[in-house]
Amino acid sequence: MKKKLLLPVVLSLIISAQAIAAQGNKENGKIIYDKKCWWCHGEKGAGDGPAAKFLNPPPRDFTAGWYKFKTTPFDEITPADEDIFRMISGGMNHISLWKGMSGTSMPNWDDVLKEQDRWDLVAYIKSLSGLEQPQKPPISYSGQIKSSKESIEKGREIFKKMCVECHGEEGKGDGTKKLKDDLGFRTWPRNLTKPWTFKVNNDPKEIYTRISNGIPGTQMPSFADPSSKKTLSEEERWHVANYVASIADDIKRPKDDTVLKVIRLEGDLPSKIDDPKWAEAQPTSFYFIPQIIAKERFFTPTMDSITARAFYNDKEIAILLEWDDRTKSIPGDEKAKELAEGDVLEDSVAVQFPVIIPEEMEKPYFGMGDSAKPVNIWQWKSGTTSAPETMKLMNANGFQKIEQRDAAKAGLKAIGVYNNGTWRVVMKRPLATEEKDKDVQFAEGKYTPIAFAAWDGSNGESGSKHVMTTWYWLLLKPATPKSTYIIPIIVALLVFGGELLLVRKSKK
């Protein structure tokens, strides 16, 4: 009898503890706020802390009382306490050198502040705009349609009609509109193929919530609001949420790989970008970081990662570089001009190698080489409406000492194609060149340092203003001799066969 009673009692205790927690203590919240949050969000919460002028998106102004990521419906401005608590705990895709630079400066606090302190902060920041409890309950997920081939297909059709103008044909955020948020800051529609850059995440329920509520303060509209030009039924919103969840492309997500493995081919290397052979190469993705070492320093990148694949044969090496860039920047092009910040410059990508492969795993300074250790730079540029794409070869000893060389003479070639928010560039060079003291020489089985850089010409990037990676390794993988596959099979057959023989003999 006693035992039966215990469970409801414990439950109700937990529930009331949560209710108290959810209310929070705003006096304690202020004490924590004044230590941890004012620097960005401002002394009085107006979003005007000393760091604010360096940040886009800017820190939220809590006196205005609007929140981007809430689960209460579009026509209820007050978020649930849990919504604010969640954003404080998880942050908003906080930028870091290790997780990528495409996010915001809003950190996660779950590993810094105790749970109760975070609830107290909720109470405090709500008090800054006099927000009470929401009048309407959170949106319901009871009508959720499970993902299936049919649902994704329906979602794709809806996406084409409703979302591509901002998010692009394939969802990479390469829409046809230049967007500003309500405060006049330039914003970019999310690249929906990279869910690790979402401010919340790509669980279909979350996507459904965003589609239903929009993202207040930004151009991302509510599709549940009957007064808007674009409304979708509940069912349609689930289909499109399932579609968006299905286009996540994990290949583009940088893992911990530090080696780009170059696969050996017999015969010719693919020289076309759409050659199906590329599917046999091993893709490896790396995070870009903005160049902040040399002048002019750069803090507002638009591109966050690059994926590389590579082949070699007995003569040449071919590298396919693939990176998402929301704008195709061709100087002279009218459409490019509409989307650009300032003048349109050429888009560009480069790989960098040390001229002399270090023996002791010691790599040249990753900026652009240093005086003792020069680097080779292979740079492709997208061209303009009146000039074709170009491939350049440079040797650099640091940022100031750059020697322009003849790419054609070194046998260096490249072609590039832009399609739906992605550049693909193939670079090719002979493994060995004549000027051995000036060009990196590739050899099978040897670890060669490699670094990548890219420029978004619609974001004012040129010269030292660009994104780059640190040094990684390139390895020309020796072909696995056929015998290594066959020998274990023969051994297995012999052993197995031998055992069979033994068994038979003993049976006899």
Instruction: Please enumerate in sequence order all residues whose Cβ is within 8 A of that of 135, keeping only pairs 6 or more positions apart, or say none.
Output: 76, 78
* Alpha-carbon distance values, 491 to 80, 348, 498, 505 (Å): 66, 52, 10, 21
Query: Kind of pairing, strands 305-312 and 179-180?
Result: unpaired
Task: Give the tokens for residue 302.
Answer: 């638009």
Q: How far is the CB of 241 from ligand HEC (least distance, A)?
A: 7
Q: In 3-state terms, what secondary structure has residue 116?
A: helix
Q: How far is the CB of 381 from ligand HEC (least distance, A)?
A: 29
Cα separation, 241 vs 239, whole angstroms: 5
What backbone phi and psi angles, to 5 degrees, belong to 9? -60, -50
Of 65-73, 386-394, 459-467, 487-495, the window that binds ligand HEC (rule: CB under 6 A) is 65-73
Of 62-70, 372-380, 411-419, 496-504, the window that binds ligand HEC (rule: CB under 6 A) is 62-70
Contact 296, 310 (CB under 8 A): no
Strand partners, 393: 378, 405
Asked if residue 67 binds ligand HEC (CB under 6 A), the reply is: yes
Task: Give the tokens for residue 126.
Answer: 């709500």
- Which of 80, 152, 207, 247 binds ligand HEC (CB under 6 A)? It is 207
Q: In 3-state terms, what secondary structure has residue 496?
A: helix
- Tell me the H-state helices in 128-182: 149-162, 164-167
Interface size with ligand HEC, residues (CB under 6 A): 49
Of 39-47, 249-257, 345-353, 429-437, the window that binds ligand HEC (rule: CB under 6 A) is 39-47
Q: In 3-state terms, what secondary structure has residue 470?
A: coil
Asked if residue 354 binds ligand HEC (CB under 6 A), the reply is: no
Of 87-95, 312-320, 341-349, 359-367, the window that binds ligand HEC (rule: CB under 6 A) is 87-95
Asked if residue 55 binds ligand HEC (CB under 6 A), the reply is: yes
- Residue (41 or 363) nearer to ligand HEC, CB: 41
Q: Which conformational region is residue 184 in: left (phi greater than 0), alpha (psi within -120 to 50 degrees), or beta?
A: left
Cα separation, 32 vs 361, whole angstroms: 46
Cα separation, 12 vs 118, whole angstroms: 22
Asked if residue 39 binds ligand HEC (CB under 6 A), the reply is: yes
- Residue (304 or 346) nearer to ligand HEC, CB: 304
Q: How far is the CB of 27 from ligand HEC (least distance, A)?
A: 15
- Which of 25, 104, 144, 147 binds ligand HEC (CB under 6 A)? It is 104
Asked if residue 211 binds ligand HEC (CB under 6 A), the reply is: yes
Q: Whose structure tokens read 């919530």? A: 209
- Which of 57, 134, 301, 364 binds ligand HEC (CB under 6 A)? It is 57
Asked if residue 326 binds ligand HEC (CB under 6 A), the reply is: no
Strand partners, 453: 350, 468
Of 128-136, 188-196, 407-415, 432-440, the window that binds ligand HEC (rule: CB under 6 A) is 188-196
- Which of 26, 36, 186, 438 binds ligand HEC (CB under 6 A)? It is 36
Asked if residue 194 binds ligand HEC (CB under 6 A), the reply is: no
Contact 260, 293 (CB under 8 A): no
Asked if residue 59 binds ligand HEC (CB under 6 A), the reply is: yes
Cα separation, 119 vs 124, whole angstroms: 9
Asked if residue 69 binds ligand HEC (CB under 6 A), the reply is: yes
- Residue (167 or 405) nearer to ligand HEC, CB: 167
Of 204-212, 470-478, 486-494, 499-507, the window that binds ligand HEC (rule: CB under 6 A) is 204-212
Asked if residue 261 binds ligand HEC (CB under 6 A), the reply is: no
Q: Whose structure tokens read 């193929």? A: 193
Q: How far is the CB of 310 from ligand HEC (least distance, A)?
A: 33
- Which of 187, 352, 459, 464 binds ligand HEC (CB under 6 A)? It is 187
Asked if residue 166 binds ligand HEC (CB under 6 A), the reply is: yes
Rg over alpha carbons for the chain, rounded to the nearest Å, is 28
- Which of 101, 162, 344, 450 binds ligand HEC (CB under 6 A)? It is 162
Q: In 3-state terms, what secondary structure has residue 494?
A: helix
Q: How far is the CB of 29 from ligand HEC (least distance, A)?
A: 8
- Count of CB atoms within 10 A of residue 69's CB? 19
Instruction: Please enumerate in sequence order all residues whose Cβ is within 8 A of that of 295, keeping only pairs 6 or more positions apart, or say none.
Output: 464
Asked if residue 368 binds ligand HEC (CB under 6 A), the reply is: no
- Count of CB atoms within 10 A of residue 432's CB? 14
Q: With CA atoms as reference, report the closest residue to 134 among 78, 96, 207, 67.
A: 78
- Which of 21, 106, 308, 320 binds ligand HEC (CB under 6 A)? It is 106
Residues found near ligand HEC in the complex (CB under 6 A): 36-37, 39-41, 51, 55, 57-60, 67-69, 84, 87-88, 92, 104-107, 109, 121, 125, 162-163, 165-167, 179, 187, 189-190, 192, 198-200, 207, 210-211, 215, 218-221, 223, 240, 244
